[in-house]
Amino acid sequence: MLRGAVIGLGRMGSHHARKLADRADVRLSLHDAAKGHSDPVNPSELDFAVIASPTLSHVEVALPLLRAGVACLVEKPLAADATQAAVLAAFPRLSVGHIERFNPAVRALPPVRPGFVECVRLAPWKAAAPGERGTDVDVIGDLMVHDLDLVRTWLGPGPVQDVRAVGFDLRGCGLDLVDARLEIGPSPGFPGGVASLRASRLSPTGVRTARLFAEGAYWSLDLLQRQAHAIDGADPSLSPTRLTLPAQDALDAEHEAFLAAVRGEAPFPCAGPEAMEVLELVQRVREASLSRCTHP
């Protein structure tokens, strides 16, 4: 039996709480004064904590727990910027909740080394209450960060050779739409390649797609509908073959991986150093976007 806490009960924190409360191997406490759960967090009574509070509070909330040896799963993005994230990233018991790594469509992929990746992530604007997650970050930190993490996973940890982007600020309170193009250099086991990404929170409908192109084949993923297809370049008809997806949903799979790390059974797939690389990409895309940003 693991003793755990969920800190922050907004949209994502509520999902964590619901899933973890259903597990027979977890005894859970909830902490969010704004939601009526104001009991203090006592690190000595915890084996793990899930931190789903607003991004700007992540260092304040997670640092005392990590210093006390509590394993922490911190929601993406790890922090507001790379400087803040570096405070947390050095702790070996830190895990970062880049949940799209656990999406069944992503997990259905065979080992691939693409040379080109295209990601589109569109979402309707959902005005949250002041201070809730999603109100303190732009569309890059809110949405595109998922795809930047996947790009790093697929194209490898090679040097970022070029970043170009354009942004659009509709409401005057931060970037709402960004188009970006990244070039990633080769690294051991990865040829590197180019990624094209679009993220928007101004869409009437949700879209989450990715396409990966390698020599002689490509793969098409619908992360929202949880579908994945492979296309063989040697097939003259280019008929897609549907891939078999794992039955377990993304959040359950993330919890399984995190609790295995808490028990010392296996490392979590996304630790502090990898999350730092993603945040550095977030900052570079943001800087490039702001240099060519359209304001209202």
Spell out the residues 6+ positions from residue 42 whose beta carbon is closer than 8 angstroms to its own: none
User: pLDDT digit string (tens) for 201-235?
Assistant: 989 999 999 999 999 999 999 999 999 999 998 88
pLDDT of residue 127: 63
Predicted confidence band at 292 (pLDDT cuts at 50, 70, 90)?
A: confident
Q: Does residue 82 register a pLDDT over 90?
A: no
Cα–Cα distance for residue pair 145/140, rounded to 1 Å:
6
Backbone angles phi, psi at 234, to 5 degrees: -80, -10
Q: What is the tens place of the pLDDT at every residue in 261-284?
A: 999 999 999 999 999 999 999 999
209-248 burial, b for 16+ CB within 10 Å, e for fewer? bbbbbbeebbbbbebbebbbbbbeeeeeeeebeebeeeee
Q: Which of 102, 201, 216, 199 is nearest to 150 (CA)?
A: 102
Instruction: State which H helix or E strand residue 200 sits in.
Output: strand 193-200
pLDDT per position as a tens digit, 156-175? 999 999 999 999 988 766 79
Domains plus CATH for the chain?
2-98+254-267 (3.40.50.720), 101-251+280-294 (3.30.360.10)
Name the packing angle between helices 145-155 and 272-291 (round to 10°).
120
pLDDT of 130 > 80? The answer is no
**Residues 172, 248: Cα–Cα separation, whole Å:** 40
Percent of the chain with pLDDT over 70: 95
Q: Mean pLDDT over all residues of the chain?
A: 92
Is pTM beyond 0.85 here?
A: yes
Q: Please answer whether residues 202 and 123 qualify as being in contact, where contact means their C-beta atoms are separated by less than 8 angstroms.
A: no
pLDDT at residue 61 is higher than 60: yes
Separation of alpha carbons 48 and 61, rounded Å: 13
Stretch 108-127: mean pLDDT: 92
pLDDT for position 133: 44
Q: What is the reported pLDDT for 128?
A: 57
Residue 295: φ, ψ to 5°: -105, 160
Q: Give, in degrees to the nearest 5, the angle at Cα 134 between 87 and 194.
A: 75
